[in-house]
Amino acid sequence: MIAMDRIERSIHNVISDRIEAYSVIELTEIHDKLELRLTEQKLRIDFYREKIAKVEEEIARYRVERKKEETSGKEGNESAA
């Protein structure tokens, strides 16, 4: 009877250890997938941040050119008058 209890406990411990090991493996895989997704999202953010910065630079250059044109246009009108 006592030997049977020990065997049952041993079996129970082995099964519990295996279940725990499989759970750890599954959690590790889930963690790795989430880290990969997070890294992909960070790369997308960086990519679009660079795109936005380039567009903002183009807008700033365009505004400067427009001001130059407006200024030269006003000077041309004043000299003609």
First to last CA, the chain: 118
Q: Fill in the amino acid letter for 11.
A: I
Kindly give the confidence (pLDDT) of every residue in the chain, 81 residues in length, as a single tens digit, with 9 standing for 90 and above.
Answer: 566 688 898 999 999 999 999 999 999 999 999 999 999 999 999 999 999 999 999 999 999 999 998 888 776 666 655
H/E stretch holding 43 reads helix 2-80
Domain map (residue ranges) of the chain: 1-75
Say what the pTM is.
0.57
Q: How far apart are CA 1 and CA 6, in angstroms?
A: 9
Q: How far apart are CA 46 and CA 62, in angstroms?
A: 24
